[in-house]
Amino acid sequence: MWGRNIYDSIRKFIQFQLTVNIVAVIITLVGAGLLKQEVLAPIQMLWINLIMDTLASLALATEPPNDDILERKPISRSEHIVTRRMMKHILGQAALQIAVLLFLIMDGENFIPEYHDSYDA
C-alpha cells in the first residue's frame, strides 16, 4: 500500500513541477521576446523554484495512503511515469496559467492600482 502511495505522490509532484516549470519558462521567453525586458529576474526564478519544491514536497510527502489504492491493478514496469492524461492536465493548466499571466503582464497596469508614496516629490 505504501509503495503505490509513494508512486502516486511522485506522479503528482512531477505533474506540479512540470506545470510550473513550463509556465515559468514560457513566460520568461515571451516576456523577453515581446517586452524586450525580463519578466522574472534570475533571483525570482530561484525563489519560485525553492518555494515550489518545498511546498510541493511537504504537501505530497504527508499524504496518507487510502484503501482505494489496493483496489487497482499494479502498475507495469514498462509504463511511463508521465501518462497521456497527466500530459493533457499539465498542458491544459499551463495554458490557462500562461493566458492569465500574459493578460496581467500586458494589461495589468490599467486595472491594478499602484501604490504612490505621499512623500514622493
14 touches 57 (CB < 8 A): no
Which pLDDT value is given to residue 121?
A: 53
56-67 pLDDT per residue, tens: 888 777 777 777
1 touches 65 (CB < 8 A): yes
Which pLDDT value is given to residue 2?
A: 64
86 touches 58 (CB < 8 A): no
Identity of residue 113 = P
Question: What is the pTM (predicted TM-score) of this model?
Answer: 0.78
Which pLDDT value is given to residue 95?
A: 97
81-104 pLDDT per residue, tens: 899 999 999 999 999 999 999 998
37-56 pLDDT per residue, tens: 888 888 988 998 888 888 88
